[in-house]
Structure 1
Amino acid sequence: MKQFIQPILFLILTGVAFILNILGLMQVIPLYITLPLLFIAIYLTIYSFVHRRTYRGMR
């Protein structure tokens, strides 16, 4: 169940970071705070989708 919830959580986090980045582009929030948050959120989202399909060997 954790493998199903984690990517969805990171997708929601990416959406929130994108909205914060839009506020940063409107100069409401500094961009040096919002851009790293957006990068980390996108990185974690891609990592969670790719990592769950890796072959871990025969157990």
Structure 2
Amino acid sequence: MKLLLIILPLFAFILNIFGLMRLIPLYFTIPLLFITIHTTLYFWQDKKQFKGFAKVHK
């Protein structure tokens, strides 16, 4: 999963470079780059939070 979070933004960045060279439409590459960066940052900052102590059932 972590490898995928590194590869996808790099791939989207390369596609965006192709878009800037007008080989691929920019209206396709810019949202793709934004979505991959947003998803990568979301999963890197997603931490397990403390949800309280578990109740002991006796």
Larger Rg: 2
TM range (shorter): 0.7 to 0.9
Query: Matched residues, percent identical?
Result: 47
Greater RCO, 1 or 2 (C-alpha within 8 Å, sep 6+): 1
| Structure 1 unaligned regions, length at least 5 | none
Greater than 3 Å deviation, 4+ residue runs: none
| Structure 2 unaligned regions, length at least 5 | none
In structure 1, the residue matched to 2:11 is 16
The CA RMSD over aligned residues, in Å, is: 1.4
Determine the C-alpha separation between the residues in 2 that align with 1:46 and 1:15: 14
Would you say how many aligned residue pairs link Structure 1 and Structure 2?
A: 53
- Relative to the length of structure 2, the TM-score reads 0.81
Q: Deviations over 1:3-58 (max 9, x none)?
A: xx2x331221000000000000000000000000000000000000001x241414
Determine the C-alpha separation between the residues in 1 that align with 2:3 and 2:39: 11
* 2:49 partner SS: coil
